[in-house]
Amino acid sequence: MFLQFVINSIIAGAIYTLLAFGFTIIYGTLNFFNMAHGIAYMLGAYFSYVCRIQFGMDLPLAVSLSTIATALTMVLVDRIGYFHLRKVNAPSWALVVSSIGVAIFFESLISMIFGSDTRILRIGEATPGYSIFGAIITQDQIWILIVSGFLMIVLSIYLKKTTIGKALRATSNDTEMARIVGIHTESIYSSTFALGSALAAIAGSLVALQTDVFPTMGQGALLKSIVASIIGGIGNVPGAVFGGFFLGFVENFGIWELSSSWKDAIALFLLIFFILLRPKLFGMEQEK
């Protein structure tokens, strides 16, 4: 039983890491809480469903096209919903409110197109899992670990070694200085949205292999993104990895004697705890 909880925690942590990684680079670069981040997760699952089930594509191709479609959609959202607010130097709360509107719009749009019924991405009968000292891990879960681990390695190299990655980090550290040295910050914003949304879309597609697809699935993903990012230090990319796995372990071991429906409650408790621990992040720290 203990080993099963460890395996479940690692798998959940891998997904939360992808979500937190995407959320935190968007925050670090654009300096606002993107409340539509869960929409990228949801769109990734639905685009994969359309490609896989309705068009009969192979799963790798379906997920790849879904990731590209989601990234392009969210870049378009950035240009329509956030670009003009940035041009007039709108406060961050205005961007947050705009992102909430984006989330509501896409949830309503998906509900109108597909209905509120759940959809299934899996094809054929479920294959039995592999037994590891009494614990079970499925083939889909193995793929989650492989893909997540690979992406984390690639993204670390991307941010540290590539020109665009260095420009992204420079913009995140000091936007004005980045402009002075010739970095086109709006291009960086677009590439950041594309990257963060692509990670969320991949997470959504991977999770959809094990669970159902439904219009409000992005709400839970947004919560996990925020909590994992705050645990690791919002805007801190290495911290997002720690935060994702920390949340995964706390959630899964926290429901050892409870129902799995308590997972979101545990995440909310952690959110409140870390808000109180780091009040300065939310402007709640009193001046001395």
31-86, pLDDT tens digit by residue?
888 999 999 999 999 999 999 998 989 999 999 999 999 999 999 999 998 999 98
Q: How many CB atoms lie within 10 A of CB 64?
A: 16
Alpha helices in the chain (DSSP H): 2-30, 37-49, 59-77, 83-87, 92-114, 139-161, 163-173, 175-180, 185-208, 217-232, 237-254, 263-277
Mean residue pLDDT across the chain: 87
Report DSSP state, residue 82: I
Reply yes or no on whether the pLDDT at 141 is more than 70: yes
Nearest by Cα to 198 from 29, 53, 19, 76: 19
Positive or negative, the CA dihedral 18, 24, 30, 33 is positive
Q: Is 211 helix (H, G, I), strand (E, B) or coil?
A: coil
Q: Write down the pLDDT at residue 287.
A: 44
pLDDT at 199 over 90: yes
Q: How confident is the model at residue 279 (pLDDT cuts 50, 70, 90)?
A: low
- Tokens representing 150 are 């690979």
Nearest in space to 35 (alpha carbons), one of 107, 96, 108, 126: 96
> What pTM was computed for the model?
0.90
pLDDT tens for each residue of 228-238: 988 888 777 78
* Domain annotation for the chain: domains and CATH numbers: 2-282 (1.10.3470)
| First vs last C-alpha separation in the chain | 50
Is residue 89 classed as helix, strand or coil in its secondary structure? coil
DSSP secondary structure code for residue 119 in this structure: B
